[in-house]
Chains A and B, each alone.
Chain A
Amino acid sequence: MFSVFLIPKATGSRTAALAAWGVWLALLAGLAAYGLFGTRLFVLSTLATVFMYVVLTQAWNLLGGYGGYLNFGLVTFFGIGAYTTGILFQYHELSPFLTAPLAGVAAAIAGLAIGIPTLRLRGAYFALVTMIVTFAVQILALDLTITQGALGIYLPALPLKPIAVERLFYFVFLGLAVLVTALVWAVEHSNIGWALVAIREDEDAAEIVGVRTVEVKWAVNAVTCFIAGVVGGLYAQRIAYIEPTGTFAFDISLNVVLMAVIGGAGFWQGPLIGAPIVLLVADMLRVTVTSEVNRVIFSMIVILIALFVPGGVMGVVSRWRRARQPKPEDAAASGLPAP
């Protein structure tokens, strides 16, 4: 029950850790260089989408991975963000780049509206409600006059060449991905991170040792939704046209869960691994099979991971590392009397 506190977070030697950081930084430098000098539109645009999903999945990871409260409808908040910037452009001619933070705020408010009743409860109520609420928001977007119903909202194309637009979003989403990954890393190494893990492992015990569980869940959920809203707001500008079915597509919620679960929920590296795997495999499969077959394959992978490989890729990696290097602290830690 308390085992989580006894597992040292940092495993492996100092040089190994430095090497790992070196690999991540080299990867980042390589991606930045490709963004500057790469000329293939398709690659730039695919990678920009990968970065967008990295941001979304990292946001999901905060509450879903560390806290164990799964959001099966992240697209709700993403879509609310997209519609916020869309509407602000439509009626006030404000560029989505300026209004993206407002999109985040709108999504965070929606997140609180859903989180306040459901996150007070233990267990899966939050997951269930997030899953079914997308449908209600979609109906709202269809029925309200301000969203222009099924007609949708057009945003202006940026006055740039297509390759320049893709390059712009490539860097926007790459920057956000680095920022949000840094945030998740910081959270993982902070009290909030420990509080979330404690909530995931045993919420009663967390409360007894003084974690304000409900408030932590509310706050972290609001942050998750804020980030999803910002990404949605920028996405609206990127595709330049939003309408209820496409913007609130269940596929986006599904992709985020797939990426987190496959990469490893509850690890800051998880989304960085999961997002490219899922998107690139999906892209490759798209040529040969329909999207339904694609989803059948991925849902089977998710079931298998949930049943046999909890923690996804990062779970395997961390278990392998721990098994390979039994550290003296481990023995000392497990020798402690259980509280």
Chain B
Amino acid sequence: MLTHVLSIVADGVLLGLIYAITGLGLSLVLGVMGIVNVAHSAFVMLGSFLAFELFRRFGVDPVVAFVLALPVFFVLGIVVYRVVITRVQSAAQTQGLVAMFGLMVLIENLGTIAWTTDTRVVTASYTNASLVLGGVVLPHVRLIAGGLALLLIGGVWAFLRFTLTGRAIRAMGQNPEAARIVGVDIARLSAVMFGLGIACAGAAGVALAMVFPFSPNTQVVWLAWAFLVVILGGLGSVASTLAAGIAVGLIQSVCTAVMPFDTVYLVLYVLLAVILTVRREGLSRAVRRTI
């Protein structure tokens, strides 16, 4: 019994770490820049397929793909920022939303053309191996993916906490006008911020690909998970996003243990509605306060 409970908890925490980085990019972009990136999960999907292609063509290990995804998606994020976001930033919010929605549909369908709607998996040499610790079975892939996620979260946290750029980004999140007056280059930092958000999405895609099967047309599911993490943890705060991710992971592993798999999704959506209802003031206040 105890080992059963322990394995549910371990499973939940490891999954939660991956969910945390899935939500992190959405949370940072929303918290600092106020952009709801509805295309977030499309970039997550691209990350999964980056891992898939690197593995299939060159036999590159997903761990390497995870590290590679960060610069690749950072650049991609900056391109998207320069091409799309800068043009809609000063316009009405609906225009930006429509543009991002179009981008999501574009990426999803380009993905479908390139990789069809088949469900794919990434199978590394250690996929079926697991570590047994006092009766608790810990699959290697989950340990590695969770560890990488934790490293990334630590890295982003340290970046925002200790570097000058990170401090400037936090200042920008708290009050863009004041930050601009004291000499923060808002335009450049927004690009960096958006790039960072997309880099997190891509890396999350690689981590998810190690654990779950994936296909281009089911990516919206990850938007639901990422959004749940964001509203549970509040906006723009790395530490609370981590906590929220682990909470979502635990909720999922407990639900999976006691009810049929599909029902887990419904629990998630009910949770989403409940949190949105309860936290409605918390959300808007969180925008101003955090990181």
Contacts and interface: CB of A to CB of B under 8 A. Distances in A.
A296 B36 contact: no
Interface in A234-282: 250, 254, 257, 261, 265
B276 A129 contact: yes
A64 B93 CA distance: 12
A303 B103 contact: yes
Given A257-B101, A293-B113, A124 B93 contact: yes
A302 B101 contact: yes
B286 to A, nearest CB: 12
- Majority DSSP secondary structure for residues of B touching A: helix
Nearest to B275: A117
Contacts of A77: none
Interface residues of B, number: 42
A307 B36 contact: no
B101 A72 contact: yes
B113 A142 contact: no
B128 interface: no
B109 interface: yes
Nearest to B222: A132
B98 A68 contact: no
Contact of A299 (B103, B263, B269): B103
Interface string B88-113: 10011111111101110110011011
Given A265-B94, A299-B102, A302-B101, 10 more contacts: A68-B92, A116-B277, A120-B280, A121-B276, A121-B280, A131-B220, A254-B105, A292-B112, A298-B105, A306-B95
11 contacts: A70-B97, A113-B273, A121-B280, A129-B227, A131-B38, A131-B101, A136-B269, A200-B92, A292-B113, A305-B98, A306-B88
Interface of B: 34, 36, 38, 84, 87-88, 91-99, 101-103, 105-106, 109-110, 112-113, 220-221, 223-224, 227, 262-263, 265-266, 268-269, 272-273, 276-277, 280, 283-284
A-B residue pairs, 6 tightest by C-beta: A124-B36, A302-B102, A306-B99, A299-B105, A303-B102, A299-B106
Interface of A: 64, 68, 70, 72, 113-114, 116-118, 120-125, 127-129, 131-133, 135-136, 139-140, 142-143, 200-201, 250, 254, 257, 261, 265, 290, 292-293, 295-296, 298-300, 302-303, 305-308, 310
